[in-house]
Amino acid sequence: MSQDTLFDKVWDLHKVSSLRGGSDQIFIGLHLIHEVTSPQAFGALKDKNLKVKFPDRTVATVDHIVPTDNQSRPFKDNLAEQMIETLENNCLEHKIRFFNIGSGNQGIVHVVAPELGLTQPGMTIACGDSHTSTHGAFGSIAFGIGTSQVRDVLATQTIAMNKLKVRQIWCENQLSNGVFAKDLVLHIINKLGVKAGVGFAYEFAGPAINALSMEERMTICNMSIEGGARCGYINPDEKTFSYIKNKLCAPKNEHWDNALKWWESLKSDENSIYDDVIKVDASKIEPTVTWGITPGQSISINQQIPLLNELSPNDKLVAEEAFEYMSFKPGQSIKDIPVEVCFIGSCTNGRISDLRIAAKVLKDKKVSKNVKAFVVPGSERVANKAKQEGLDKIFKDSGFQWREPGCSMCLAMNSDKLIGNQVSASSSNRNFKGRQGSPNGRTLLMSPAMVAAAAINGKVCDVREFIN
């Protein structure tokens, strides 16, 4: 059993009681909600005649269903309009702070909370969204929950949960030029598998992690769940603290000094005990692309799609399914596979640094005429910053469509969808069958820089040829 890790410290601090069944009752320091997984939870509160216990500790925004072309109200899609109205009414009724479209602070919930300084080390953070693991980048313990647990958090600010085991993923050396956090996390998921993290929290550590910016760290923790780990985190350091400093909701004045002192104490102790430790050599990683229907099915840009006999019996079953669905052949090179749609955005890679690197690749270049390319900033703040820096112009000049913030084609709950069996190069997090809105649509996950390069060439290519 793990001991003295950040996970242990934060868990123990938030433990309210041991429940009769043997699970723990855990206090949730910050609860984030959005329009898709909260309405039924509010409905259940009403049925049980309960109130929101700590309305101040829940913050709402709208992201999944928002259109990214025309955001004027009412939305063209009646169901989407009904969902945003329901959230507006619930927030009003229960006095919950809501960052609506046009507030300047709306966006994907996992982009918004960190950029407002809501996400802080040592907190427990829950949200009805599996990518809540993102917030672990700050040394918080953050995990996705279902709607019944959203109801529990609203009603009690606690949930019943079994304590997770802790696996440290030690990333040695440094990523090389043209290789990004997305490549690192795709590599880790490929190495460990998509279910290795079940029952675990992942602690990402080591020189390669220390060298990452906060936004890159968010990309890593965001995709913990794709490796099966509901929770992923990174010990906070100077980068964490300076990212938070002066943010809207950051501790101010004398509170800042107290916060710093406490945050420093949260790091996993030098002699802490882990349930498991895995080592990864970051310097060996190359730009990585998925070829299949799970985020674990990835290869380096210069590799071939694996042959069936190279895979374990368990992986074979899903690989066969993937070959059939993707219409790719074992042994085929991933390079030069034509792409029809290029999507830059999502809670994984829709932040300002993602837009900057993509714009750097796209500057003075044109998107291939066979490609529909669009960029969806992760939040209104990201969009505004990008405009200040002139990035929107670079994107538009290259042939990218510049859209309004939201989740968009990561999960295609709005009108941004693949058509038929289109192949998309996507900076998002899931390449599941049908994920991007078409039951036959095909998704290749990669870093935003790689998506930009694919957009220019009209096919999968090595971004290092553009930036080195």
Partner 1 sequence: MKSEFTPPIGKITKINGQCISLIGNDIDTDRIIPARFLKCINFDSLGKSVFADDRKNLKGRHPFDLEDNKNASILIVNSNFGCGSSREHAPQALMRWGIKAIIGESFADIFYSNCIAIGIPCFTLARELIQKLQKNKNDKCLFLEIDLKKLIAKSKDLNFNLEIKESSRKMFMSGEWDATSTLLENENLIENKFTKLPYVKFNNNLF
Q: Which of 33, 91, 109, 123 binds partner 1 (CB under 8 A)?
A: 123
Contact between 149 and partner 1 (CB under 8 A)?
yes
- C-beta closer to partner 1: residue 271 or 312: 312
- What would the two tokens of residue 94 be? 């229960």
Using the contact rule CB under 8 A, the part of the chain among 66-74, 242-250, 283-291, 302-310 near partner 1 is 242-250
Task: Give the residue carrying structure tokens 């900033």.
Answer: 377
23 scored as a contact of partner 1 (CB under 8 A): yes
Question: Least distance (Å) from partner 1 to the CB of residue 14?
Answer: 7
**Contacts to partner 1 from residues 290-319, by CB under 8 A:** 294, 314, 317-318
How many other C-beta atoms can be found within 10 angstroms of the C-beta atom of residue 309? 7
Q: What is the DSSP string of 168-201?
A: EEEEES-PPTT--HHHHHHHHHHHH-TTTTTTEE
Task: Work out how close the CB of 390 gets to partner 1 at its nearest, in angstroms, rounded to a whole number.
Answer: 32
Site residues for partner 1, 396-455, by CB under 8 A, read 411-413, 430, 432-435, 437, 439-440
Q: What are the beta bridge partners of residue 423?
A: 442
Contacts for 315-321 with beta carbons within 8 Å, 24 or more apart?
A: 315/193, 318/292, 318/293, 318/294, 319/292, 321/293
- Near partner 1 in 358-397, by CB under 8 A: none
Terminal C-alpha separation, the chain:
45
Sole window of 234-242, 255-263, 337-345, 391-399 interacting with partner 1 (rule: CB under 8 A): 255-263
The DSSP line for 117-165 is T---TT-EEEESSGGGGGGGGGT-EEEE--HHHHHHHHHHSEEEEPPPE
Work out which of 4, 54, 211, 385 binds partner 1, going by CB under 8 A.
54
252 contacts partner 1 (rule: CB under 8 A): yes
- List the beta bridge partners of residue 165: 200
> Should residue 147 be labelled a site residue for partner 1 when binding is judged by CB under 8 A?
yes
Nearer to partner 1, 59 or 423 (CB): 59
Among 4, 71, 82, 330, binds partner 1 (CB under 8 A): 82
Total residue count of the chain as it appears in this document: 468
Side chain identity, residue 227: G
The yes or no reply on residue 71 touching partner 1 (CB under 8 A) is no
**Per-residue x/- track, 196-215, partner 1 (CB under 8 A):** --xx----------------
Phi/psi class of residue 434: alpha, beta or left (left: φ > 0; alpha: ψ in -120 to 50)? Answer: left
Residue 49: how many other CB atoms lie within 10 Å? 6
Q: How many residues bind partner 1 (CB under 8 A)?
A: 92
Q: Which of 46, 53, 329, 393 binds partner 1 (CB under 8 A)?
A: 53
Task: Please select the residue that binds partner 1; options are 146, 207, 331, 390, rule is CB under 8 A.
Answer: 146
- Using CB under 8 A as the binding rule, whether residue 76 contacts partner 1 is answered as no
Please identify, among the stretches 9-17, 356-364, 379-387, 456-464, the one whose residues bind partner 1 according to the rule CB under 8 A.
9-17
Q: In what helix (H) or strand (E) does residue 426 lie, and over which residues does it extend?
A: strand 423-426
